[in-house]
């Protein structure tokens, strides 16, 4: 790879390309009636939240392990770990589909398993700095999804369940690609000796996993439970529009996601100096404003989606807060461990769930947007305060 190529093709840009294809898929899905798009969104929400709840936060856990940890544990432990995650993810997705009252059980369960596989093996690839490959695979999946949606639209198949099956197929494809590639890498670079971890080591792993998972699970409930409750209390029409607004505002978090993953895989960084707030806001705010403007254009073209820009405007402060919170949370996990991030996540989840159940039954998707932004603001502030109280930072400053 030439120096020019390295400057042009950066992980951040490839990740943005992946998000771009995801955004294009979301834009194409506006061709669906809002109620049918709500059907699609409900299946996606059940799958993503089911994968997060049931997978024991496999991606974050594997990223946070020290160098050499994988080889010390051995293949059998990893396979047993993945099998347990798959079973739990499937059960969680099925339960969430029942709670939502709409969506496909088959799509929710299948996609939750596919996402769990992708997350697990992509985290192993990220551990060896294969950022471009991981984000490139995501971008490829997004491009295929756009083509699939365009094909369904051209065939006049405007059925949310059919589109959700196409989404499932793409998740399965990227999961298989990631799995086979990482297994090939493991075969080529396998350790000369077998697993050396003791029973005490494995029990310590399970305790650390449990502590971390409580926090990540709480985060995902904060991020996705609103869509499940909109489906339950407001129906598929408002959910279809709201989910589009959420997808658009996620573009503002792209840089923060890459920064967080870099922090977690950087084995040499041990300071607790947080990223400056102004830097994060300057990176995220223009993208968030562009997303709201785009939602306004969609609303002009498709009257069913006229409320999208209002949802986006209410979600905008939360999107900026999440961009800051993700970066700071990764650093907090690195310097203070799972207990610190779990404490933050549980606080935020309590605020979010209370607001969701208070506002969504009354205000529908508008209540969800207000509750989300409020909870994300608490997330950013609470994480920043936890970093400020970190002994290493206090001593250094």
Give the integer Cα–Cα distance in Å for 52 and 79.
Answer: 18
pLDDT tens digit sequence for 80-110: 778 888 998 999 999 999 999 999 999 999 9
pLDDT tens digit sequence for 347-370: 999 999 999 999 999 999 999 999
Give the integer Cα–Cα distance in Å for 307 and 234.
Answer: 14
Please report the pLDDT score of residue 77 as a whole number.
73
Measured between alpha carbons, how far is residue 67 from residues 64, 182, 223 in Å?
9, 17, 30
Give the integer Cα–Cα distance in Å for 281 and 279.
Answer: 6
Structural tokens at position 90: 């499937």
C-alpha gyration radius of the chain: 20
Phi/psi at 34 (5° precision): -55, -35
Please report the pLDDT score of residue 394 as a whole number.
42
Give the integer Cα–Cα distance in Å for 322 and 289.
Answer: 15
Give the integer Cα–Cα distance in Å for 122 and 138.
Answer: 10
Q: Are 387 and 332 in contact (CB under 8 A)?
A: yes
Tokens 């409020």 found at: 374
Please report the pLDDT score of residue 83 as a whole number.
86
Please report the pLDDT score of residue 396 as a whole number.
42
**Which residues are within 8 A (CB) of 238 and not within 5 positions of it... i.e. 6 or more apart?**
34, 38, 230, 307, 364, 365
Structural tokens at position 197: 């971890």
Low-confidence residues in the chain, pLDDT < 70: 1-8, 56-60, 64-75, 189-199, 212, 261, 264-277, 389-397
**Which residues are within 8 A (CB) of 140 and not within 5 positions of it... i.e. 6 or more apart?**
174, 177
- Among residues 330, 356, 313, the alpha carbon closest in space to that of 274 is found at 330
Give the integer Cα–Cα distance in Å for 142 and 316.
Answer: 24
Give the integer Cα–Cα distance in Å for 289 and 286.
Answer: 5
Q: How far is CA 242 from the centre of its chain?
A: 17
For the beta carbon of residue 167, count every other beta carbon within 10 angstroms.
21
Give the integer Cα–Cα distance in Å for 42 and 49.
Answer: 11
């Amino acid at each position: 790879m030439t120096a020019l190529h390295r400057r042009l093709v950066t992980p951040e840009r490839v990740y943005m390309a992946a998000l771009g294809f995801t955004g294009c898929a979301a834009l194409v899905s506006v061709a669906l009636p809002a109620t049918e798009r709500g059907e699609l969104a409900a299946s996606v929400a059940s799958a993503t939240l089911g994968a997060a709840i049931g997978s024991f936060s496999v991606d974050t856990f594997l990223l946070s392990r020290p160098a050499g940890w994988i080889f010390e544990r051995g293949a059998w432990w990893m396979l047993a770990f993945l099998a347990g995650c798959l079973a739990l993810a499937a059960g969680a997705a099925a339960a969430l589909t029942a709670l939502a009252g709409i969506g496909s059980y088959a799509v929710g369960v299948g996609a939750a398993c596919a996402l769990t596989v992708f997350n697990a093996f992509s985290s192993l690839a990220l551990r060896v700095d294969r950022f471009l490959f991981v984000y490139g695979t995501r971008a490829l999946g997004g491009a295929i999804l756009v083509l699939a949606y365009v094909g369904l639209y051209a065939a006049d198949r405007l059925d949310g369940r059919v589109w959700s099956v196409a989404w499932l197929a793409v998740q399965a494809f990227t999961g298989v690609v990631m799995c086979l590639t990482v297994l090939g890498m493991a075969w080529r670079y396998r350790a000369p000796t077998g697993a050396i971890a003791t029973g005490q080591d494995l029990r310590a792993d399970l305790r650390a996993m449990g502590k971390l998972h409580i926090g990540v699970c709480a985060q995902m409930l904060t991020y996705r439970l609103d869509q499940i409750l909109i489906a339950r209390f407001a129906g598929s029409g408002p959910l279809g529009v709201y989910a589009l607004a959420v997808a658009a505002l996620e573009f503002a978090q792209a840089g923060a996601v890459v920064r967080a993953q870099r922090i977690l895989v950087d084995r040499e960084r041990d300071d607790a100096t947080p990223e400056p707030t102004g830097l994060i806001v300057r990176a995220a705010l223009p993208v968030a404003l562009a997303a709201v403007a785009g939602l306004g254009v969609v609303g002009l073209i498709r009257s069913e989606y006229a409320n999208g820009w209002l949802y986006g405007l209410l979600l905008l402060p939360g999107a900026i807060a999440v961009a800051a919170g993700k970066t700071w949370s990764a650093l907090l996990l690195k310097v203070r461990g799972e207990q610190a991030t779990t404490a933050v996540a549980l606080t935020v989840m309590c605020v979010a769930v209370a607001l969701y159940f208070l506002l969504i039954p009354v205000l529908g998707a508008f209540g969800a947007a207000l509750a989300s932004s409020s909870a994300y603001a608490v997330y950013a502030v609470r994480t920043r305060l936890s970093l400020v109280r970190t002994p290493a930072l206090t001593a250094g400053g």
